[in-house]
Structure 1
Amino acid sequence: MSSDRGLPPPDFGLRLSSRVHACDGGRTLMGGGRVVRLSAPAATLVEGLPGRVGPDPAASRLARLLLDLGVADPWWEEPAGADVAVDDVTVVVPTQDRAAGVAQLLASLPSAVPVIVVDDGSADPAALELVCRRYGARVVRHGHNRGPAAARNTGLRAVQTPYVAFCDSDVVPQPGWLATLRRHLDDPSVALVGPRVLGRAATPGDGWLDRYEQARSSLDLGPLPARVALHGEVSYLPSAVLVARAAALGDGFDESMRCGEDVDLVWRLLSHEWGVRYEPAAVVRHDHRTSLGAWLGRKAFYGTSAAPLAARHPGAVAPVVATPWTATVTVALLAQRRWSVPVAGVALALVTCSTARRLKSSNRPTRAAAVLVLEGTVAAGWQGASALIRHYWPVVALASVRSGRVRRAVLVAGVVEGVLDWRRVQPELDLPRYVVAHRLDDLAYGAGLWLGAVRARSARSLMPLFKGWRPRSVR
């Protein structure tokens, strides 16, 4: 665990995650398929949250445990302050032929922060040089295009500060982003932190794709902070903007990867027991594609990264992560037989009873078990719908030609998931066009996923992951 790298400092604060339920008078914490049982002294400390860790070694150890388990998030009494006060971070900008975008980015950065712009083989390097001179940024040039991973690594090797911020040239950070992200690195176990990446701010002339991306950007990981973990609520960070502890990055990004190198870096850090955080209080705006062809191409491009990631991190990119009971419930309902509902009901009842026995020390073990099973059922429903209409749609499309049941399942999944997602994100876009855009998003990503598997001559990125299920219990 990352706790081996050190305890949080005394002035570091924390609060319980909004995804966690406190039960049994605060003695039991539940959420995300995890159960944490607290001693009476620990429960007393948790009851005082949010608050600072303080100098007590026991409180520091408890804070480390709660943060590493993902049941608590960092917290501070005071706002992060101004970005200009940050004096130990260097910004690295990889780019190619985007002088206008670099100018917009540099204008948004604090003037005192050192910036290294890596020109990755631009056809017009003079335009970029002119912009960088205007803002006092240093330029390092590649003679030919080597890819964003290599460009970031070139910048990383030139960094002389203890921390580095990678910023793509198609983003505009919003005020406060740097100070908000930087203070996460006061925790000695954290190597990397990323902000919330939103689409461009709305304007009166925006089209339906703009409205969709503003509400449902592929890079937007949601409004809640999180510890990044494999198969967790947040499992990766996009490289649009990342702030890191330079010494923790080693050789940096994998230069053989043209897509997914950011996810690979995050997962390698996790495998070395570094902490990685997602902080949505820091916001950057991303300049997304606006034409339909370019937009679909980008979504497919993201999908192609799954195959090389699956080769490097087996099981990490599984489209479906199933347990015996979630698989039983999903298959039973998809079968659409007379026995489907009874079988699903029996599976849910059995797992609830089994979980309640494991939680017998709780004051209300059956209720606690029901909450955990309900969370798992909802997650399995979302995952099953996504598998049908996003990851496995080429196979499902072929099957639907012969099977009315498959057609019904696809129709229900496509419409119901689209409506629920529209209600969840509340976009400034009417329901029909949102659902169409959402389904096109899924089709393009799924096409890229299968294309990547064919290129790699490997089905690893398409294979589901099966594992046993029981709430992870920590005392």
Structure 2
Amino acid sequence: MTSQTGPQDTRLPDGFRIVLDRRTRILDDGAALLGGAPPRLVHLTAKARAIVDTGNTITVADPASRALARLLLDGGLAQPARPVAALERPTAKDVTVVVPVKDRTAGLVRLLATLPADLGGIVVVDDGSAVPVAVGHDSPVTVLRNDTARGPAAARNAGLAAATTELVAFLDSDVVPRPGWLEPLLDRFADPAVGLVAPRIVALDAGTTWVSRYEAVRSSLDLGLDAAPVVPRSRVAYVPSAALLVRRDAAGTGFDEELHVAEDVDLVLRLHAQGWRLRYEPASHVAHDHRVDVVQWWGRKTFYGTGAAPLALRHTGAVPPMVLSPWSAAVCALLLVQRRGATALAAVITAGAAERLSRKLGKLRRPRLAAARLTGIGLVGALAQTGSALTRHFWPVAVLACLFSARARRAVAVAAVVEGVVDWWTHRGHDADGPGPLAHVGAHRLDDLGYGAGLWWGAWRHRTAAPLRPTGPGRRRPHRQG
């Protein structure tokens, strides 16, 4: 359903600038960098250290700086800086906006009123609305119509086929782009290897109910405040199709029309496998009219969960419920036993993992300190995944265990409270007035119950356990070079 080749040119242009990610740690006075998602250690040669200036910025000017910038950018240790004015990049006239719509005329009119006047084109695809969409005879909008509904993937593909510009922006009819939304996305295409960029999806109206306030800070569409590469099994593993800007050559024929859920994740996985770089750019805001009716909201969470099974069957190992190394999986299992002996053994395994890692970090001045830090990061991540999995992916199993074991009840209760409070603390500053900790934890647990129910239903319907199988870190798939 998409292009068969990756980018033909992956060379960053002269003048392209990157800045170290705020999570990246500088070790040994610049001899190494620790960061990315998943975390990795990058040793720098003396020449590479000289390229990173005092502001932790790299400007591409020669083959060495170009190679270093690409390495750090792809690894998530650095993010693109705002490009200099002289750097060539697309403009609004290079963009066609495609809007799939079905029986949502008011939202479509609201959206069209916010779009720039200098776009390369606007295509509205009416996917079998009861009353055909009309936008006026003097409108620059092209309207295509399916007599019967074929689904959002097919509607987007029809608009993609009609577009003639270099870039295509997919916008759902229930979104409202904020002023200035397009420019930060266009900036990312100064990198010729970038095939897709997504904005941050924010709430159109924070509202006053507990559901609306929770969605304002914790929507499944909102991927947070920090820019990131979109990489499977990382902090930003997908981006939603509510708002996307794609290179037409990368998109090929578009979305998989057999999928009626998670077709956006499928597109991300395919483009990444072909070597395209994908970016999440939260400097661009597109507001979404979130579902705030409790029944509709919970149903949508369940619907999202059903997409895991078809994705797991199409992309083996790309969407696991947990990604744990063998030692961290053993430690988490031992801690769940809740016995002194098991806890002591978990401590021994953790210390052994740190010591083994330190032997691989011999180039550093203090390898044991760096190994302890890396091991600690890995263990915290593993515990967080375990707590989340107990209440989200595997809650039916957890409930069954609680019927027979007091230790299971204690473990699930601790996970439900601690993970929920941490989640509230993490999202409390997301540009909106979210609910208090009690309401947030309650909504979060309902969110997880809905997704988990959909996950298990989808697995049963497709007769597969693939979306329920944890996996190890494995080796990262290298990007193809043009």
Which range, TM-score by smaller chain?
Answer: over 0.9
Q: 2:96 aligns with which of 90, 111, 119?
A: 90
Runs of 4+ in structure 1 displaced over 6 angstroms?
1-4
Q: Relative to structure 1, is the Cα distance of residues 116 and 468 closer, same or farther in structure 2, using a 3 angstrom cutoff?
A: closer
Q: Relative to structure 1, is the Cα distance of residues 298 and 79 closer, same or farther in structure 2, using a 3 angstrom cutoff?
A: farther
Q: Relative to structure 1, is the Cα distance of residues 221 and 202 closer, same or farther in structure 2, using a 3 angstrom cutoff?
A: same
C-alpha separation between the residues in 1 aligned to 2:308 and 2:341? 36
Percent identity of the aligned residues? 49
C-alpha separation between the residues in 2 aligned to 1:281 and 1:406? 43
C-alpha separation between the residues in 1 aligned to 2:295 and 2:270? 33
Q: Relative to structure 1, is the Cα distance of residues 129 and 79 closer, same or farther in structure 2, using a 3 angstrom cutoff?
A: farther
C-alpha separation between the residues in 2 aligned to 1:265 and 1:71? 24
Look up the match of 1:202. 206
| Map 1:178-327 → 2, pairs under 5 A | 178-203=182-207, 206-327=208-329
Look up the match of 2:155. 151
For 1:315, give the aligned amino acid.
G
- Number of equivalenced pairs: 464
Q: Is the 8 A contact 2:221 2:240 kept in 1?
A: yes
Residue 475 (structure 2) pairs with residue 446 (structure 1)? no
Q: Is the 8 A contact 1:332 1:344 kept in 2?
A: yes
Q: Is the 8 A contact 1:264 1:309 kept in 2?
A: yes
C-alpha separation between the residues in 1 aligned to 2:465 and 2:434? 38
Q: Is the 8 A contact 2:101 2:127 kept in 1?
A: yes
Q: Relative to structure 1, is the Cα distance of residues 124 and 79 closer, same or farther in structure 2, using a 3 angstrom cutoff?
A: farther
Residue 398 (structure 2) pairs with residue 387 (structure 1)? no
- Per the TM alignment, residue 78 of structure 1 is displaced from its structure 2 partner at its CA by 6.1
Residue 130 (structure 2) pairs with residue 115 (structure 1)? no
Look up the match of 1:416. 418
Q: Is the 8 A contact 2:359 2:367 kept in 1?
A: yes
More deviation, 26-35/381-390: 26-35
Q: Is the 8 A contact 2:52 2:58 kept in 1?
A: no
For 1:422, what is the secondary structure of its paired residue? helix
C-alpha separation between the residues in 1 aligned to 2:249 and 2:84? 28
Q: Relative to structure 1, is the Cα distance of residues 85 and 246 closer, same or farther in structure 2, using a 3 angstrom cutoff?
A: closer
For 1:73, what is the secondary structure of its paired residue? strand
For 2:392, what is the secondary structure of its paired residue? helix
C-alpha separation between the residues in 2 aligned to 1:3 and 1:161? 17
- Per the TM alignment, residue 79 of structure 1 is displaced from its structure 2 partner at its CA by 9.3
Q: Is the 8 A contact 1:3 1:65 kept in 2?
A: no
C-alpha separation between the residues in 1 aligned to 2:407 and 2:140? 63
Q: Relative to structure 1, is the Cα distance of residues 273 and 64 closer, same or farther in structure 2, using a 3 angstrom cutoff?
A: same
Gaps of 5+ in 2: none
Look up the match of 2:355. 353
More deviation, 4-13/277-286: 4-13
C-alpha separation between the residues in 2 aligned to 1:111 and 1:273? 33
C-alpha separation between the residues in 2 aligned to 1:379 and 1:4? 36
Q: Is the 8 A contact 2:91 2:186 kept in 1?
A: no
Q: Is the 8 A contact 1:13 1:50 kept in 2?
A: no
For 1:118, give the aligned amino acid.
V
C-alpha separation between the residues in 2 aligned to 1:11 and 1:151? 39
Q: Is the 8 A contact 1:107 1:135 kept in 2?
A: no
Look up the match of 1:103. 109
- Per the TM alignment, residue 51 of structure 1 is displaced from its structure 2 partner at its CA by 4.2
For 1:146, what is the secondary structure of its paired residue? coil
Look up the match of 1:19. 23
Q: Is the 8 A contact 2:100 2:171 kept in 1?
A: yes
- Per the TM alignment, residue 136 of structure 1 is displaced from its structure 2 partner at its CA by 3.0
Look up the match of 1:57. 63
- Per the TM alignment, residue 409 of structure 1 is displaced from its structure 2 partner at its CA by 0.7
C-alpha separation between the residues in 1 aligned to 2:83 and 2:99? 32
C-alpha separation between the residues in 2 aligned to 1:356 and 1:263? 37
For 2:341, give the aligned amino acid.
W
For 1:242, give the aligned amino acid.
L
Q: Is the 8 A contact 2:256 2:263 kept in 1?
A: yes
- Per the TM alignment, residue 201 of structure 1 is displaced from its structure 2 partner at its CA by 3.3
Q: Deviations over 1:142-184 (max 9, x none)?
A: 1111111111110000111101110111111111111110111
| Map 1:28-47 → 2, pairs under 5 A | 28-31=32-35, 32-47=38-53
Q: Relative to structure 1, is the Cα distance of residues 28 and 2 closer, same or farther in structure 2, using a 3 angstrom cutoff?
A: farther
- Per the TM alignment, residue 3 of structure 1 is displaced from its structure 2 partner at its CA by 8.5
C-alpha separation between the residues in 1 aligned to 2:13 and 2:84? 16
Q: 1:460 aligns with which of 449, 466, 480?
A: 466
Residue 373 (structure 2) pairs with residue 371 (structure 1)? yes
Q: Deviations over 1:14-64 (max 9, x none)?
A: 011122111111120112331111110111112355546343222112212
C-alpha separation between the residues in 2 aligned to 1:26 and 1:167? 43
C-alpha separation between the residues in 2 aligned to 1:182 and 1:9? 15
Q: Deviations over 1:273-304 (max 9, x none)?
A: 11111111111111111111101100000000
C-alpha separation between the residues in 2 aligned to 1:201 and 1:329? 43
C-alpha separation between the residues in 1 aligned to 2:157 and 2:178? 25
Q: Could you tell me the TM-score, scaled by structure 1's length?
A: 0.93
Q: 1:141 aligns with which of 138, 145, 170?
A: 145
C-alpha separation between the residues in 2 aligned to 1:13 and 1:49? 12
Q: Relative to structure 1, is the Cα distance of residues 147 and 409 closer, same or farther in structure 2, using a 3 angstrom cutoff?
A: same
Q: Deviations over 1:76-103 (max 9, x none)?
A: 26699xxx96221110011111101111
Q: Is the 8 A contact 2:309 2:462 kept in 1?
A: yes
C-alpha separation between the residues in 1 aligned to 2:278 and 2:175? 21
Look up the match of 2:408. 406
Q: 1:6 aligns with which of 4, 10, 18?
A: 10
C-alpha separation between the residues in 2 aligned to 1:259 and 1:400? 32
C-alpha separation between the residues in 2 aligned to 1:2 and 1:91? 23
For 1:377, what is the secondary structure of its paired residue? helix
Residue 131 (structure 2) pairs with residue 124 (structure 1)? yes
C-alpha separation between the residues in 2 aligned to 1:4 and 1:377? 39
Q: Is the 8 A contact 1:11 1:52 kept in 2?
A: no
Q: By percentage of residues, which structure has more helix?
A: 1
